[in-house]
Structure formats: C-alpha cells, structure tokens
C-alpha cells in the first residue's frame, strides 16, 4: 500500500461526534468501554435529536470525505486528472486495465465510504418510525435518508458491476446487478417525492440543511438514475421538475470540513491536476472560445505528468474547487438539460435533442456561472451517433470533476473496449472497478472481478 499517498488523503470527519459512531452503527462492533462524553448508539437511533444529528453528520461526511473518492478515482480513469506524483495508488488508476489491483487504496476508499454512508441512511430509515417528532420533520428526515441511500447506491452502481443494495451487519451482504440497484434508486426517490408531497417538510428540518432544496435534489437524482436505467420519458419528466434557478450545494467551513477536490488537486503541490482540455482529445477538444475553460481551468507553467504515467500536460483547477471553502453543487442545471438531450436522442426525437444541446452551448445565465457562451451546434443534426458524441463532449465539460465521466463513457460509447494491458490515451481505461480485497476477505458473496 502507498502509505505516503494514503497519508495525504486522510479525512478529518472524525471531528463530528456523531461520525464517531459510524463504525458501530454499520458493523455492529462490540466495545468493552463506554465513553461518557459520546452518545450511545441507542441514544442516537431512538431520539429525534440523535437521528437529526446523524443526518447532519452524514451530509458533512459525504461532502468532505466520500466526495473525495467519488471524483478522484474515476477522474484518474477517464483522463480528467493527470498523476504528477507517480505514487502507486494514482499510477495504478491512471494505467487501468488488468494492472489495477484490488488492494488499490483509491478503490478501497471509494467502496468503503459509499458503503458506510449508505448504511447510515439505512439505519435512519430503519429506526425513525417510532421516534416522536413533528410530521413535517419526520417526512423531511425520511425523504432525506431515502435520497441519500439512493445517492450512495447510485454512485456505487456507476463504478462497480454489482453492488450490495442493503448492508448487512454481519458482513454477509448479497450483491445485485447495477440494473437492480438503479431500479432501487428510482423507487427510493419516487417514494421520497411521495413522502414530502403528502406531508410538507417542516421549517425545523429545512433549517438543518439551508443550502439544499430537498424537492429539487430528489428530482435531479431521479432524472439522473432514470436516464442511466434507460427510462427516458421518466428522466425527462423528472428533469422538467427541477428548478434550474435553484442552488443546492455541499458546504465547507475550511476548518473541520474542507473542499475535498481542493485537497487532492490544488492544495500543497498535489498528487493530481486536471489534464489540459479536460482530458478530451480529437473531435472532443473544446472550442477555445468556450467560457467553461476559463471557469474550470487555468494554465500552469507547462507542468506535465512523468512520461511513465502518460506525460500529459496538466493545468491548475478553478471552478468550484480552488479554495478549501468553495461550495460544490449537488447537481448542475446543465446536467438536467443534457439529460433531456440524451433522453430525446434515445427516443428518436433528434430535433429536441439538438435543442437541449444548444441550450447548454448557448447558456450565459447559469445560476452557478457555468456558461459556455457558444453558438448553436453545427454538426449533423440527423445523425444520432453524432448527436450522442456531442452530448458526451458537453457532459465532459459541463460536469467536469463531478464523478460522472466513467458512467458517461461506458453508457454513450459502449463499444469502446479498454485495453487489458492498460493505456494512457484511451477515453476510459476500465469499464468497472475490481471489488476491494477487504470486501472479498470479509464477504463470501463478493463476485469475481470484472476483467476490465
């Protein structure tokens, strides 16, 4: 294991008193002592204050810790990021193919953090019913936990071929296909919508998350996972329900909680930096007049990766990531437009697909400032494959460093086969990641690793 790399990526979320309980809540470990200054598992799971505090801790933990792996790991596999350190962990991810081992620290962190956060959401849902609180607070908490369970399960399905839909305290969780996982995500989000429609969320709950619009994030993720599940009409309907002028963000205070992408790609001579042109090549290279280039990237003094890991030119990262206190969007309005573009293309309405491509290309009033400011697309509007390629290009730029590109590449370009021996130039160097060695060692149900 690359200890120096692991040390640079240690997390600070253990400063939240509730997060100290996560391992107990997820794995059911026994303790021979009691810390009188720390709430017990029973206190957390059987009281309103405990459950609400757990939801707040879950939010902060995902934002500052799990998001780290959600973006960095697939970012290295899809050329968004270059490796300027040659440490083993990022070097394996950049190489990909069969060279990517199942004890890679990045893969392990991605799996473990998502599994842990999913387990916390499951614990909230399993224990909230008998706890006394106002109806609007309970509906908000239940809907929030369902959204978080869908969010974490969805990210697992984006990166792994099979996933455990439900955690098990004994470590013996069953694995399901990603298709079943996406269907579960969709069911959870539809149920969350029904919860808050039947009982509006109270101010007590909303005030815990002032920077998250629960109805909008539920619809945004419902649109996302409906698209991934090829439920195109549902994806369009959910995207239509999102208010594109609303902002929902992961927040950071710069002390206990620091912007995770800043930590691995900006701060203190980082191990990784974004590759020039968002890592895109050939026909996908962005128009030099694209306003999103200056939004996300700033030229360095011609820093390049070592030749041993590809030798790409890298740039400095801006956008939502250049300070430790910058908020990161939970979703971007442009994603909703591109979901509709792709869904219409897949349904055969190429005219509407191009309409929404142009809505992204010509955007100048994005609520987060992610504006291309370009003219309309001049490609072949009668070619579905050309339209899908343009959607991939626009998603790669618009949703830069959001953890989406591995899923996008595999979905939009399914016939691209990553070389088994690895490559430093392919659009993606894996289809799915191997299951971490730690999971295989503890769960007899762990499937065989995918070859690529």
For the stretch 352-390, pLDDT in tens is 999 999 999 999 999 999 999 999 999 999 999 999 999
Confidence of residue 67 (pLDDT cuts 50, 70, 90): very high
Confidence of residue 76 (pLDDT cuts 50, 70, 90): very high
Average pLDDT over residues 193-221: 98
Confidence of residue 2 (pLDDT cuts 50, 70, 90): low
Confidence at residue 423, expressed as pLDDT on a 0 to 100 scale: 79
Q: Is 450 exposed, middle or buried (0-12, 13-18, 19+ CB in 10 A)?
A: middle
Residue 435 covered by a domain: no
Residue 173 covered by a domain: yes
Confidence of residue 207 (pLDDT cuts 50, 70, 90): very high
Residue 61 covered by a domain: yes
Tell whether the model's pLDDT for residue 47 goes beyond 90.
yes
Q: What are phi and psi of 61, to 5 degrees?
A: -65, -45
Confidence of residue 404 (pLDDT cuts 50, 70, 90): very high
Place of tokens 């021996």: 421
Confidence of residue 56 (pLDDT cuts 50, 70, 90): very high
Confidence at residue 422, expressed as pLDDT on a 0 to 100 scale: 73
Confidence at residue 86, expressed as pLDDT on a 0 to 100 scale: 74
Q: Is 421 exposed, middle or buried (0-12, 13-18, 19+ CB in 10 A)?
A: exposed
Average pLDDT over residues 160-171: 92
Tell whether the model's pLDDT for residue 162 goes beyond 80.
yes
Confidence at residue 261, expressed as pLDDT on a 0 to 100 scale: 97
Confidence at residue 387, expressed as pLDDT on a 0 to 100 scale: 98
Residue 442 covered by a domain: no
Confidence at residue 38, expressed as pLDDT on a 0 to 100 scale: 54
Tell whether the model's pLDDT for residue 201 goes beyond 90.
yes
Domain that holds residue 99: 18-30+39-414
Tell whether the model's pLDDT for residue 215 goes beyond 90.
yes
Q: Which residue has the higher pLDDT, 130 or 2?
A: 130
Residue 421 covered by a domain: no
- Predicted confidence (pLDDT) per residue in 311-357, tens digit: 999 999 999 999 999 999 999 999 999 999 999 999 999 999 999 99
Q: Yes or no: say if 20 and 14 are a contact pair by the CB < 8 Å rule.
A: yes
d(CA 418, CA 308) in angstroms, rounded, equals 19
CATH number at residue 318: 1.25.40.390
Tell whether the model's pLDDT for residue 33 goes beyond 70.
no
Closest C-alpha among 356, 107, 81 to residue 223 = 356
Tell whether the model's pLDDT for residue 29 goes beyond 50.
no
Tell whether the model's pLDDT for residue 37 goes beyond 60.
no
* Percentage of residues in the chain having pLDDT higher than 90: 81
Query: For 20-24, 167-171, 267-271, which range has the lowest pLDDT when averaged over its residues?
Result: 20-24
Residue 364 covered by a domain: yes
Residue 343 covered by a domain: yes
Place of tokens 């470990």: 29
* pTM confidence score: 0.92
Taking all residues of the chain, what is their mean pLDDT, rounded to a whole number? 91
Q: Which residue has the higher pLDDT, 34 or 132?
A: 132
Average pLDDT over residues 139-152: 98
Confidence of residue 25 (pLDDT cuts 50, 70, 90): very low
The length of the chain is 452
Average pLDDT over residues 248-258: 94
Number of domains in the chain: 1
Residue 436 covered by a domain: no
Q: Which residue has the higher pLDDT, 448 or 170?
A: 448
């Amino acid at each position: 294991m690359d200890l120096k790399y692991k040390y640079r990526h240690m997390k600070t979320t253990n400063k939240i008193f509730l997060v100290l309980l996560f391992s107990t809540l997820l794995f059911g470990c026994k303790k021979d002592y009691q810390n009188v200054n720390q709430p017990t598992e029973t206190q957390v799971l059987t009281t309103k204050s405990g459950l609400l505090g757990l939801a707040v801790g879950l939010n902060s933990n995902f934002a500052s810790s799990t998001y780290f792996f959600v973006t960095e790991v697939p970012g290295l596999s899809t050329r968004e990021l270059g490796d300027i350190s040659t440490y083993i962990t990022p070097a394996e991810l950049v190489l990909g193919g069969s060279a990517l081992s199942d004890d890679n620290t990045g893969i392990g962190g991605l799996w473990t953090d998502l599994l842990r956060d999913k387990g916390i959401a499951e614990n909230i849902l399993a224990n909230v019913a008998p706890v006394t609180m106002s109806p609007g607070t309970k509906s908000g908490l239940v809907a929030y936990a369902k959204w978080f369970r869908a969010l974490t399960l969805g990210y697992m399905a984006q990166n792994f071929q099979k996933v455990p839909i439900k955690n098990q305290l004994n470590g013996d969780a069953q694995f399901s296909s990603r298709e079943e996982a996406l269907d579960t995500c969709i069911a959870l989000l539809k149920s969350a919508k029904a919860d808050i429609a039947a009982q509006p969320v109270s101010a007590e709950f909303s005030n815990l998350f002032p920077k998250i619009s629960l109805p909008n994030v539920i619809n945004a993720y419902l649109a996302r996972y409906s698209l991934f599940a090829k439920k195109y009409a549902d994806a369009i309907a959910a995207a239509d329900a999102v208010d594109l002028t609303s902002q929902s963000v992961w927040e950071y205070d710069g002390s206990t909680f620091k912007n995770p992408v800043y930590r691995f790609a900006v701060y203190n001579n980082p191990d990784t930096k974004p590759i020039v042109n968002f890592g895109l090549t050939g026909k996908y290279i962005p128009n030099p007049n694209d306003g999103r280039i200056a939004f996300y990237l700033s030229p360095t003094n011609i820093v390049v990766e070592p030749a041993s890991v590809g030798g790409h030119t890298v740039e400095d990262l801006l956008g939502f990531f250049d300070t430790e206190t910058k908020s990161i969007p939970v979703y971007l309005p442009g994603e909703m437009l591109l979901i509709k573009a792709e869904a219409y293309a897949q349904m055969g309405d190429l005219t509407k697909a191009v309409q929404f491509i142009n809505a992204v290309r010509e955007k100048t009033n994005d609520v987060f400032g992610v504006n291309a400011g370009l003219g309309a697309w001049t490609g072949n509007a009668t070619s579905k494959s050309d339209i899908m390629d343009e959607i991939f290009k626009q998603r790669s730029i618009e949703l830069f460093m959001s953890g989406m590109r591995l899923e996008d590449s595999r979905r939009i370009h399914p016939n691209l086969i990553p070389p088994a021996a690895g490559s430093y130039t392919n659009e993606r160097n894996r289809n799915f990641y191997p299951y971490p060695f730690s999971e295989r060692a503890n769960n007899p149900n762990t499937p065989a690793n995918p070859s690529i």
